A and B are shown apart, each in its own frame.
Chain A
Amino acid sequence: MLEAQGIRKEFIRQGKGTNRLVAVQDTDLTLGAGELTVLMGRSGSGKSTLLNMLAGLLAPTAGRILLDGEDLYAMEDRALSRLRNARIGVIPQGQTALHSLTVLENVLLPVRMYDPKADAAPEALALLERLGIAELQQDKPAALSGGELRRMAIARAVIRRPQIILADEPTGDLDDENTAIVFDFLRESARNGAAVLVVTHEGDAVQYADRIFRMNAGVLTAS
């Protein structure tokens, strides 16, 4: 479904002459429908860079990323954005709430972005219920804890029922109970046909994985 072919990412280090940092070495990776793939590795190993490239958010220095045979980075920005909205759900690292919106509005935003009249509130509420934050639906993000914000971001990423889910440390701020809820949720999404990639430090993630990769200094290896 989503296929990375020989992708590589280099960054020029500011103030250090022509020193290039290779964040991701030439990498091939395929994410298939119905599979949950776990990617583990140390901080700075290139995991998030790889995920952002797969999401169509960071152009690779070399290589191609194909979604059902279509090169993401050969697309016009408008078409790629629309495709990402409809088919790729990204759960970024850190706090990613829009603070002027309520929790429910945050979750509904991907739906309303291209269809302002769409009514996905029942589905959004069901997701919030599933993730244990339904009672916070009318609150502003400032009132939520880090873990609650993370669960809100997960609901927002999957509200469009994307075919691909890319999660960057989705359980970073969660306790064990909520970590289990999130992994169960992502596992269920894969079972329902999504191709799921989870970048994580959590050792527990392996029990949910169909495939496990490790990243070390930009080099991806299957484990």
Chain B
Amino acid sequence: MRRLAVQNLTGKPVRTAVLTVLAALLALAVFGGSLIVTSLRTGLHSLEDRLGADIMVVPYEATTKTNLEAIVLQGATGYFYMDNARAEKVLAREGIGQASEQFFLASASTGCCSLSVQIIGFDPQTDFSITPWIRRSFGGELQKYDVVVGNDLNAFVGDTLQFYGTEVHVAAKLAKTGTAYDTAVFTGEDTIKALIASSVERGMNQFTVDPDKVVSCILINAADGYTPEEVVNDINIHVKKVKAIQTKEMISGISDSLSGVRDVIGVLMAAVWVLGLAILLLAFTMSVNERRKEFAVLRVIGASRGMLAGLVLREALLTGVCGGMLGGVIGLAVIVPFNRAIEEQLGLPFLLPGAGTVIGYFAAAVILTALAGAAAAGIAALRISRMDTGLILRGDN
């Protein structure tokens, strides 16, 4: 009877194909939807990790002239500076635990990049947000004119790049984060100051600054006993011409968007499942009705009611497993290669989870689809197990 289920499916290729495609649609909805939502969530966590600080302090103009969120969250390029005196005032405030200065510069087009890229410099002595991340890809110390490139940039270890006439060497390529940092270049304080100086000398920097006397932003972690909110309020009240921002607030917009996307995907998944289950139920019921005589013959030659129900359920499970795997493969084929396009379309950080999680979702989608198929066939199986063979044989003649 096990073989009969397979033979019944292969013997009716059109019917089987329709049911399999339907099951694939269900699996695609649940697998694709889950993978997208999880990738967005992973991207958000990755962004939180990359921001790596409770607070960012930037010159006030950065929140008006330049869209800070566009730089940090969406991969736009831009730069701004505040003089060291203001930075020192910030660092003198109470409640500051860790603090590290960063320096921004946007490059012109280079050999490595079709667009200008964001260059972020950090102080290796005090940095607590970028160094731990770089350590995962690069074990050594960054020398002057060494840079580390984001995963999405078309540059590789050993390449030489040129920014404002200054050559730099790619020392490492970072792991993918699914955030704007994947298109950025990171380097030490000495190098970025040299690059800023070059840009000023060439008249290509919109500010005329002495790189030794400015910083772009200060990353801060609140000291024990202080909340980030308290520190932010204190800085904003007591230090003029700067803006302290809680990073949590910066990503709250992304978090809200993610919730919206998750809700939309949830509704779509539910709609596909309700419709798909209804069609599967109808298809199995029609199929069983059409095959009443066939089932009656099986009873005639000795099949029990349980065997008939088992046959129907086995066919449904096989269809569900095949369809589920097909749907999962289609989901992988669409989402994995096109994850950058999805990220750009949604405008949200998008980072695929690890292989284990993807395999887990794939297996769950296949199992869920197979069970859905079996559930849809369950009513048909129940009907067929209760049919009166004698009446069917009598009715057909």
Check if A and B associate. yes
| Interface size grouping (class) on chain B | 20 to 34
Binds B, one of A108-116, A118-126, A189-197: A108-116
CB neighbours of B304 from chain A (8 A):
77-78, 81-82
Number of A-B contacts (CB under 8 A): 95
Q: A52-B390, A58-B388 are in contact. Are A96 and B302 (CB under 8 A)?
A: no
The interface residues of chain A lying within 8 Å CB-to-CB of B302 are 81-82, 84-86, 110, 113-114
Q: Is A179's beta carbon under 8 Å from chain B?
A: no
Question: Min CB distance, A103 to chain B, in Å?
Answer: 14
Q: How far is the CA of A86 from the CA of B301 in the complex (A)?
A: 9
Interface string of B370-393 (1 = CB under 8 A from A): 000000000000000000111101
Which of B2, B300, B307, B391 is in CB contact (< 8 Å) with A92?
A: B300
A48-B397, A49-B390 known, 13 other contacts, Cβ within 8 Å: A49-B394, A57-B393, A81-B303, A85-B301, A86-B302, A93-B393, A93-B396, A96-B296, A98-B294, A101-B7, A110-B302, A116-B2, A168-B393
Task: List 21 A-B residue pairs with CB atoms under 8 Å apart, sorted by A's residue number.
Answer: A48-B394, A52-B394, A57-B389, A57-B393, A58-B388, A59-B390, A77-B305, A81-B304, A81-B307, A82-B302, A84-B301, A92-B297, A92-B393, A93-B396, A96-B293, A98-B4, A99-B11, A110-B302, A113-B303, A116-B2, A140-B11
Residue among B7, B12, B294, B301 making CB contact with A90, cutoff 8 Å: B301
CB distance from A188 to the nearest CB of B (A): 21
Bits for B303-333, please: 1 = Cβ < 8 Å to A, else 0: 1111100000000000000000000000000
Q: Which residue of A lies closest to B293 (CB)?
A: A96
For window 215-269 of B, CB contacts with A under 8 Å fall at none
Check: B18 CB closer than 8 A to any chain A CB: no
Q: B16 to chain A: closest CB distance in Å?
A: 10
Which A residues are CB-close (under 8 A) to B293? 94, 96
Q: Is B109 an interface residue (CB 8 A)?
A: no
Contact across chains for B297 and A98 when beta carbons are under 8 A apart: yes
CB-based contact B393/A53 at 8 Å: no
Specify which chain A residues have a CB less than 8 angstroms from the CB of B391 in the assembled complex. Answer: 58
Note all chain B residues with C-beta closer than 8 A to A90: 300-301
Neighbouring A residues of B12 by C-beta, 8 Å: 100
Q: How far is the CB of A80 from chain B (nearest CB, A)?
A: 8
Which A residues are in CB contact (< 8 Å) with B1? 113
Question: Shortest CB–CB separation between residue A66 and chain B, in angstroms?
Answer: 18
